Amino acid sequence: MADAPKHQLVTEEPAEDTQSKTQANTTEAPKHQLVTVEPVEKVRGRRLWIIPAALAGLVSAAYIGGSVYFMSHFLPNTTVNGTDVSYQPAEQLAESISQSADDFSATVKGAGFEIPLTAADIDYAYDGNSCAEGALSQQNPWTWPLSFNESQSLTVEPEATYNAEKAWSLFEPFVEEGKQKQGGLANQGVYFDEASDHYIVDPQVHNAMLDHSLVISAIDSGIASGDSTIEIGEDCYKVDPETQERLDNANFYCDAKIHLTMNGVDAIDIDGKQINSWLTVNEDGTVTLDEQAVLDYGPGELSDLLDSVGKPRTYTRPDGEEITVEGGTYGWLIDGAASSQLILEALKSGKAQTVEIPTFQNADRVDPGGQDWPDTYVDVDISEQLARVYVDGEFIMDAELVTGIPNSKYETPRGVYYITEHEEQVDLYNPGNVPEGVTPQGFEIFEGGWYSHVDYWMAFIDSSTGLHNSDWRTVYGRDYDGDLIYLYNGSHGCINMSYDDAQQMYGLTELGDAVIVHD
């Protein structure tokens, strides 16, 4: 059974008052109070709980204090942009970042200039406080006890500021220099550039067109990207209104590029270079088109270029032989005068367009100075006394020949022709030379003329000259001694061949097919 509480009688003394004390001694008995006294063991046990509570309070205070400290300081083992900032206050990092702006340097490059930039030149600066606050916000101060065994790497991007007007002042000497050059050049530095096929501003005065806002924008982008070299490109130039008007007036015509076709076939383009030859840029910035020069162009230069009938043409035969042939009736003939009128109208519209050139005679393709006939044709080589037939560029057959007597009125004409007659069983003769009452047979020669009957007739010069069989001959090309027959026993201009070869060639050709006769 537990011990009963122990008690102690305590006498309570009255207040230390003389009068009261005197009265108490004479009138009242001493008063007493019963006080309970606890055991010594219980008092000791209660005191033992105070120690851990005090320790807990100290730890808590230390943790909170550390957290508060690291709200303005960096945790241990912390780097910012690779620099150790452990225990540093944010103000120290801010100051360091601000000072680092002094190291800024870059080079601005453009057409005809290279400008070094330093921090002092343009008042280049960093907002260090903002960077430090940004770095500090990336850490958790309440985890500071863990940071002694862990490291953290923080990154901040300093935001740069600079004086744009001081930066632009570095460009002003180049702008002024360009303006001075512009004033000394013809047409205020506007001229036709063959590379671009347009009127442009002379590169010598290019820097006069540097645009303030566009240049500053390029510098902004370069600084934001951390570029050590900042390029000032074409997008940083802006032509002034007066110069732009000159350009627009001239390029109104140059933009009216004309694509010419003939009989639906692509021909040539009248480009800015050609158009420029018809223009005059006046001192007041207006532009004059020489209409008479355009009207002369069609019958003159354009016809010289596009007309091919009778002109030299060089082509490569499918066997690889390069041949030049001149003369003939096949090819293009344009209506130059009508063409000029169409070109002039197109120029005045100021718009690019296609113009169909009227023609008197057409060919298969447009290739000035080259092959303008189709890939199906008969190639007659006088020097070889051999005809080759190509169909769609593929070799089909060849035939030995006897052509006209050289250096005489009977010589076979050279040139590019086309088949004008394609018939069977034809009598060829000069009727005025056949005696009355005589019926010619086969091939006969009369005074001043001749007569012959052929089975296959492929004329290429009117009705007088063509390819045909000649049964009165038994040998073609070279004789039995190896000599070329046409040199001493040639035809009257036609191209003779055997019956079998003429029959095969007749089956492979038709009206309009090209015949090329060359040495």
CA distances in angstroms from 9 to 3, 12, 16, 35, 38, listed in the order given:
19, 10, 21, 7, 14
403 or 203: which leads in pLDDT: 403
Calculate helix-pair angle for 90-100, 128-136, nearest 10 degrees: 140
pLDDT at 355 over 90: yes
Tell which wins on pLDDT, 496 or 98.
496
Mean pLDDT computed over 115-136: 89
How sure is the predictor about 1, in pLDDT bands with cuts at 50, 70 and 90? very low
Section 250-269 average pLDDT: 94
Q: Tell me the sheet residues that pair with 387.
A: 380, 399
Quick check: 313 and 326 in contact, CB under 8 A? Answer: yes
Total number of residues shown for the chain: 519
pLDDT range class, residue 23, cuts 50, 70, 90? very low
Q: Which two tokens stand for residue 200?
A: 């442009």
CB 359 within 8 A of CB 460: no
Mean pLDDT score of the chain? 87
Cα distances (Å, whole numbers) of residue 7 to 35, 38, 517: 6, 9, 154
| % of the chain beyond a pLDDT of 70 | 86
Q: What integer pLDDT is reported at residue 467 of this predicted model? A: 98
54 or 268: which carries more pLDDT confidence?
268
SS (H, E, C) 341-362: HHHHHHHHHCCCEEEEECEEEC
Residue ranges per structural domain of the chain: 1-69, 73-171+210-239, 249-361, 377-518
For the chain, what percent of residues have pLDDT higher than 90?
58
Read off the pLDDT of each residue in 14-24 and give the average, rounded to a whole number.
45
Span 283-303, pLDDT tens digits: 888 999 999 999 999 999 999
What is the Cα–Cα distance from 318 to 375, expressed in whole angstroms? 9
pLDDT: which is higher, 448 or 417 = 417
Q: Widest CA span of the chain, in angstroms?
A: 206
Please count the CA atoms within 13 angstroms of the CA of 140 that sit on its side-chain side.
7
- Write down the residue that tokens 């820097």 correspond to: 207
The model's pLDDT over 196-251, given as tens digits with 9 standing for 90+, comes to: 999 998 888 888 999 999 999 999 999 989 899 999 998 998 998 999 999 999 99
Cα(25)–Cα(46) distance, integer angstroms = 43
- Report the pLDDT value the prediction gives residue 185, as an integer from 0 to 100: 86
CATH topology of domain 249-361: Ubiquitin-like (UB roll) (3.10.20)
The CA distances from residue 354 to 70, 259, 362, 463, in Å, are 78, 5, 18, 39
Residue with more model confidence, 517 or 64: 517
Residue 160 banded pLDDT, cuts 50, 70, 90:
confident
Contact by Cβ (8 Å): 515, 460: yes
Pair 468, 494: CB distance under 8 Å:
yes
CATH class of 377-518: mainly beta
Give the model's pLDDT for residue 183.
86
Structure tokens at 211: 């645009």
3-class DSSP state of 481: coil
From 81-90, 348-357, 395-404, 419-428, the region with the lowest mean pLDDT: 81-90
- Tokens 């030299």 belong to 312
In this prediction, residue 27 has a pLDDT band, given cuts at 50, 70 and 90, of: very low
Q: Give φ, ψ of 312 to 5 degrees.
A: -65, 135
Give the pLDDT score at 37.
Answer: 52
Of 54 and 182, the one with more pLDDT = 182
Q: Which of 103-117, 233-247, 312-326 has the highest mean pLDDT?
A: 312-326
Residue 293 backbone dihedrals phi, psi, to 5 degrees: -65, -35
* Pairwise CA distance, residues 457 & 426, whole Å: 7
DSSP H helical segments within 148-269, as ranges?
164-169, 172-184, 212-225, 241-254
pLDDT tier at 25, thresholds 50, 70, 90: very low
SS3 content of the chain, % helix, strand, coil (to 5): 35, 30, 35
pLDDT at 165 over 60: yes
Residue 16 has pLDDT above 70, yes or no: no
| Pairing outcome for strands 449-461 and 443-446 | antiparallel
Predicted TM-score of the model (pTM): 0.64
Segment 440-491, tens digit of pLDDT: 555 555 555 566 889 999 999 988 899 999 998 999 999 999 999 999 999 9
pLDDT value of position 33: 55
- The structure tokens listed for 343 are 């070109």
Distance CA 146, CA 77 (A): 10
